[in-house]
Amino acid sequence: MTNCPKCRIEKMREEVVAEIEIERCPFCKGMYLASGELQKLVLQELGTGDTFAFSASIDAMDDVAAYCPRCEVDMVTMAGPAEVHVDRCPQCGATFLDRSELAIMQLHEPQ
């Protein structure tokens, strides 16, 4: 496992969420998803894989640059579902979500 692409403090840990293997940072709770996994998780029931947590430090994570550990390139910030800012690798398409971003996307996804 590599260090978190965002906070770079802790090693990412593998988890299975709704039968999808993800990597999560135990420190900042961000999630690293392979290409295509975000779309599958957004369609899951609200709260699957993420919870709401609002704080100034979580909002501040949007300003921290992410780095793709697989491709070793900077990730680009773009608007994801529900206009949430996500970090995406321009080479492999992997996505990094800060804590609560998946839950916000699930909330706005029509079920």
Kind plus residue range of the DSSP H or E element containing 52: none
Instruction: Write out the E strands in the chain.
Output: 13-17, 20-24, 31-33, 67-68, 73-74, 76-79, 85-88, 95-97
Give residue 110's pLDDT band: very low, low, confident or very high (50, 70, 90). Answer: low
Return the higher-pLDDT residue of 50 and 65: 65
Under 8 Å CB-to-CB from 25, ≥6 apart: which residues?
Answer: 4, 6, 7, 9, 10, 12, 13, 31, 32
- Buried-exposed string 18-32: b where 16+ CB fall within 10 A, e elsewhere: eebebbbbeebbbbb
Lowest mean pLDDT among 5-19, 22-36, 57-71: 57-71
Over residues 74-83, the mean pLDDT reads 89
Query: pTM above 0.85?
Result: no
